[in-house]
Structure 1
Amino acid sequence: MTNIVITGASAGVGRAVVRRFAETGNNLTLIARNETRLKAAAEEVRKAGGNALIMPLDVADADALDHAADEAEKAFGPIDIWINVAMVTVISPVAKMTPEEYRRVTEVTYLGTVNGTLSALKRFNRRGRGTIVQTGSALAYRAVPLQSAYCAAKAAIVGFTDSLRTELLHDKSNVKITVCHLPAVNTPQFDWARNKMPNRPRPVAPVFDPELIADGIYHAAFHPKREYWLGFSSVKAIMSEKISPAAGDALLARTGYSGQQTDEADDPDRPDNLFKTVEGDWAAEGRFGDEAEESSAAIWTSEHGGSRLFGGAALAMAAIVALGTFAITGPRRG
């Protein structure tokens, strides 16, 4: 059995990744803050024929995360694959953000990834092998309004990972590192993310099923390459930013607010998961299943070595952007 550590394992993309790796009977160490949901995820693993260890902790705590790595190896032997998924975000204009909110998003989404990478790397370097999978985002390359903290954290992951990759190449290491850049995904984050906008938040269309994204991450873990761009919306967002960032700025200024809100008023008193976990029977999927894509030619192409070729085809996006059909715009209201 392959020994795998997954952070953010209790819900959303992380929970879908747990389910995907459980299908092939692996040893999984599941890390997240919510113990109840971790137990539910572990039960899914065991029913699928795998083994599970749960470690309820906050990935912002580097010492706790390193302890979890020790426990994973005590339970299952040397870790083979480490997958960093944990994240938090705030939906808010910059002017309404607080320093504490920026710090928290950075500590979880960026530094949580750094902490996990360091824990994995310490063990992988001793053995001269292992694979690290970072969960990135198209928003690392094409930032959107209302998610400045999250976009910055995902961009930081790219810079950190690119630097580490060159060091591994310099050392001629057999340790592998890959990044999966995600599109908008139908997860519960839009029901528990801190929101300072009047209406309920939503993913920016098109929206993808988390199980499809988990398939891409599963493939990347066993076939690591520099980057995977999951979904054509990710390809278009990344390529259009390279071609015409100013056009993207203008378009997002016009559509980025409405594209991240539904027509329903949000409850200003609902709990959010920024500093404390939100209780509830959440799993992988959110409330946008009716529109979630369950297949993607772009993901297949990326998995089969053609993401750059596919990206090259997107050079035509310069003209498309100018005409206003940009990848990450959502439904426009009024």
Structure 2
Amino acid sequence: MSKVVVITGASGGVGRATAREFARRGDRVALLARGQSGLDHAAADVRAEGGEALAIQVDVADHHAVSAAAQRVMYDLGPIDVWVNDAFSGVFAPVTDIEPEEFRRVIEVSYLGYVYGTKAALKQMIPRDTGVIVQVGSALAYRGIPLQSAYCAAKHAIQGFHESLRCELLHDKSNVRVTMVQLPAVNTPQFGWVLSRLPRRAQPVPPIYQPEVAARAIVHAADHPKRRERWVGASTVATLLGDKVIPGLLDHYLARSGYASQQTGAPRDPDQPVNLWKPADERTDQGAHGTFDEQAHPRSTQQWLSRHRGLIAGGALVAAAAGIVLGRS
């Protein structure tokens, strides 16, 4: 039986790939994002994969708009079964070069957008005592890195919010489930449209994974939400944590390597689009992939092991090697 799925940030990147993954099962997918061209193409993708699409232009920083979008989904597609929070924005710059208004905007989109989406989903799910909310997180929810202070702060906040909510649902003996999918570096268009004040072009910190890897993990988490967290792949930071590097030494390591590892050798295009205040895909579709296809991995061994219960011990070993603990409810 098909499900009603809502995805924020669905017009590009991981959200776009996730929409296609749900559509392949014949699900009814509501696509929430700001850019109209990206939304139109994402809806066409969903229909091409066999799903039913509902595109809603919305800024997740507006809680009234998010609530209204959830109501429209219920009226047009039916009660919401799965809500995936994925919309985010960020700024690539040192703290001293980020304006207060930019910090506020990142937090409003990348953290409060998750809060508003979660509350809109809970409003429908709690009375029915069923439903799954997937928070798309990051390895940076546990370890901040230089040049992404606003984004790291938002991911840390989501982690704390998720843990608090999960405890409350357990206390109420609710059958509504919440889970997180913690992502490594992913080849998405964000590196070409994020606000950047770096001298060179921004890039994800290797190893890099394709957005379809994240999408498969998100869909699997929605189907099997009892696990508290799922990690898609090991990051450099997580690997260092797994090796039990003393925090102070990790700070020094990131101080030395964190700037170069987040920039290519090419100068930043001063005219590149910026999606912090306005969508970068309003008139031009950006798709799911960024410009790092040659470096990006199409699969994650860690993800595969963790998905197969018969090999869960092996998955835990791989996770432990990356400084990861797979929790269970």
Deviation digits for residues 10-32 of structure 1, max 9, x if unmatched?
00000000111111110000000
Aligned residue in 2 for 1:273: 275
Alignment of 1:35-46 (within 5 A): 35-46=36-47
Aligned residue in 2 for 1:286: 290
Assess if the C-alpha contact under 8 Å between 1:18 and 1:45 holds in 2.
Answer: yes
Assess if the C-alpha contact under 8 Å between 2:137 and 2:158 holds in 1.
Answer: yes
Q: Provide structure 2 residue ranges, at least 5 long, that are not aligned to the other structure.
A: 325-329
Deviation digits for residues 222-242 of structure 1, max 9, x if unmatched?
011100011022793484396
Assess if the C-alpha contact under 8 Å between 1:80 and 1:131 holds in 2.
Answer: yes
Q: Provide structure 1 residue ranges, at least 5 long, that are not aligned to the other structure.
A: 317-334
Aligned residue in 2 for 1:324: none
Change (3 A) 1:108 1:170: same
Aligned residue in 1 for 2:327: none
Change (3 A) 1:263 1:28: same
Aligned residue in 2 for 1:236: 238
Aligned residue in 2 for 1:60: 61
CA distance in 1, matches of 2:6, 2:248: 40
- Root-mean-square deviation (CA, aligned residues, Å) is 1.7
Deviation digits for residues 242-280 of structure 1, max 9, x if unmatched?
653222211110000000001111122332000001142
- For 2:100, give the aligned amino acid: P
Deviation digits for residues 116-141 of structure 1, max 9, x if unmatched?
00000111111001000000000111
**Which of 254, 257, 277 is 1:255 aligned to?**
257
Change (3 A) 1:283 1:77: same
Alignment of 1:83-232 (within 5 A): 83-224=84-225, 225-232=227-234
Deviation digits for residues 126-164 of structure 1, max 9, x if unmatched?
100100000000011111100000000000000000000
- For 1:296, give the aligned amino acid: S
- For 2:61, give the aligned amino acid: A
Shift, 1:59, TM fit = 0.3
Deviation digits for residues 85-142 of structure 1, max 9, x if unmatched?
0000100000111110100000000000000000001111110010000000001111
Matched, 1:49 2:53: no
CA distance in 2, matches of 1:38, 1:238: 38
CA distance in 2, matches of 1:109, 1:241: 30
Shift, 1:298, TM fit = 0.7
Identity %: 51
- For 2:87, give the aligned amino acid: A
CA distance in 2, matches of 1:23, 1:114: 28
- Equivalenced residue count is 316
- For 1:266, give the aligned amino acid: R
SS at match of 2:55: strand
